């Protein structure tokens, strides 16, 4: 999107006028993708599709693949997938669990626009120290909005919008994730109670609502880099995340 287009849209919004046609068309296209994640469609037939040996820098895991079918309107079924890294005994007592949403920019490119990779590494370290636990990796880029939309949101953020405002500007809710699949995967692995690594109270509530007991919340605190201090502040102020390092900003 060009800079002048964004300014035009913002001016229109301030005047309360309708969006330009091109913008409304674009929003509609993006909304179609969002339907996958809006939580109104039932998730069915969650199944394990693979289970393999997986040595890593953090220790020895097994890597498991899971798929579930999201039932859409007019039998428009879509497949959602998740990966589980599993270490040690996870069934005789509530294991440490981290639910990580895919962040290509952070996980692969070590982006400093967000704290995703640091949180991922923190979780793998904690599981490794404990000798048991589960890392659930969901393919939901950019809180469910998709990779291209996330890059567009970055562009909007470069113009001065924060992460929540940028998602809303693109026609999405602030957070499009649902936690049905992770809950179903945990149940399939025989895990009914967890010690969840998260700063997000909504994840605790969502898992509890899906029938997984959260017996303890373990903080996912990372030292903020200057480049994502504002991102952490917005997550705390607008999305209810708990983060002790933001107060010092
Ligand atoms: Zn990220």
Using one digit for the tens of pLDDT, what is the confidence trace for 52-98? 999 999 999 999 999 988 776 655 677 888 999 999 999 999 999 99
Is the Cβ–Cβ distance between 199 and 231 less than 8 Å? no
Q: What letters, b where the CB count within 10 A reaches 16 and e where it falls short, cover 66-82? A: bbbbbeeeeeeeeebeb
Position 44 confidence tier, pLDDT thresholds 50, 70, 90: confident
Give the position of tokens 């149940």.
187
CB burial of residue 167 (10 Å; 0-12, 13-18, 19+): buried
Mean pLDDT of the chain, nearest integer: 78
pLDDT at 195 over 50: yes
Task: Look up the pTM and report it.
Answer: 0.73
Cβ neighbors of 27 (< 8 A, separation 6 or more) are 19, 170, 171
CATH architecture of the region 38-140+177-248: 3-Layer(aba) Sandwich (3.40)
pLDDT at 35 over 60: no
φ and ψ at residue 31, rounded to 5 degrees: -65, -30
Angle between helix 201-209 and helix 180-188 axes, rounded to 10 deg = 60
In this prediction, what percent of the chain has a pLDDT beyond 70?
75
Q: How far is the CA of 128 from the centre of ligand 1 (A)?
A: 22
Q: What is the set of active-site residues?
A: 175, 177
* Over residues 142-161, mean pLDDT: 84
* Among the ranges given (15-19, 103-107, 217-221, 238-242), the one the predictor scored with the smallest mean pLDDT: 15-19
* Over residues 114-121, mean pLDDT: 92
* Over residues 222-228, mean pLDDT: 76
Position 39 confidence tier, pLDDT thresholds 50, 70, 90: very low
> What confidence score (pLDDT) does residue 38 get?
39
* Among the ranges given (16-25, 36-45, 68-77, 146-155), the one the predictor scored with the smallest mean pLDDT: 16-25
Q: Is 36 helix (H, G, I), strand (E, B) or coil?
A: helix
Q: How far is the CA of 206 from the centre of ligand 1 (A)?
A: 21
pLDDT at 159 over 60: yes
The ranges assigned to domains in the chain are: 38-140+177-248
Q: How far is the CA of 207 from the centre of ligand 1 (A)?
A: 21
Position 13 confidence tier, pLDDT thresholds 50, 70, 90: very low
Token pair in block for residue 29 = 């296209």
Number of residues written out for the chain = 249
pLDDT at 193 over 50: yes
Q: What letters, b where the CB count within 10 A reaches 16 and e where it falls short, cover 177-188? A: bbbbbbbbbbee
* Over residues 114-134, mean pLDDT: 95
Token pair in block for residue 156 = 């909007």
> What confidence score (pLDDT) does residue 243 get?
66
Q: How far is the CA of 166 from the centre of ligand 1 (A)?
A: 15
Q: How far is the CA of 235 from the centre of ligand 1 (A)?
A: 12
Q: Among 22-36, 112-126, 132-146, which range has the highest average pLDDT?
A: 112-126
């Amino acid at each position: 999107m060009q800079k002048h287009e964004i300014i035009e849209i913002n001016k229109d919004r301030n005047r309360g006028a309708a969006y330009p046609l091109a913008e409304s068309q674009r929003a509609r296209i993006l909304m179609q993708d969002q339907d996958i994640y809006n939580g109104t469609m039932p998730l069915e037939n969650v199944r394990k599709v693979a289970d393999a040996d997986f040595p890593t820098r953090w220790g020895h895991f097994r890597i498991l693949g899971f798929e579930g079918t999201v039932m859409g309107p007019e039998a428009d079924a879509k497949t959602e997938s998740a990966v589980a890294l599993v270490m040690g005994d996870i069934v005789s007592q509530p294991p440490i669990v981290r639910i990580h949403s895919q962040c290509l920019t952070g996980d692969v490119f070590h982006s400093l626009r967000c704290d995703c990779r640091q949180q991922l590494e923190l979780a793998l370290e904690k599981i490794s120290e404990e000798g048991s636990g589960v890392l659930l990796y969901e393919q939901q880029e950019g809180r469910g909005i998709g990779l291209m939309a996330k890059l567009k949101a970055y562009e909007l953020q470069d113009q001065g919008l924060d992460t929540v405002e940028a998602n809303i500007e693109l026609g999405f809710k602030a957070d499009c994730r649902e936690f049905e699949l992770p809950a179903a995967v945990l149940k399939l692995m025989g895990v009914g109670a967890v010690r969840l690594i998260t700063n997000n109270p909504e994840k605790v509530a969502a898992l509890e609502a899906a029938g997984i007991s959260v017996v303890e919340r373990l903080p996912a605190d990372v030292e903020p880099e200057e480049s994502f201090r504002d991102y952490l502040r917005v997550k705390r102020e607008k999305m209810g995340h708990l983060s002790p390092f933001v107060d010092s900003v």
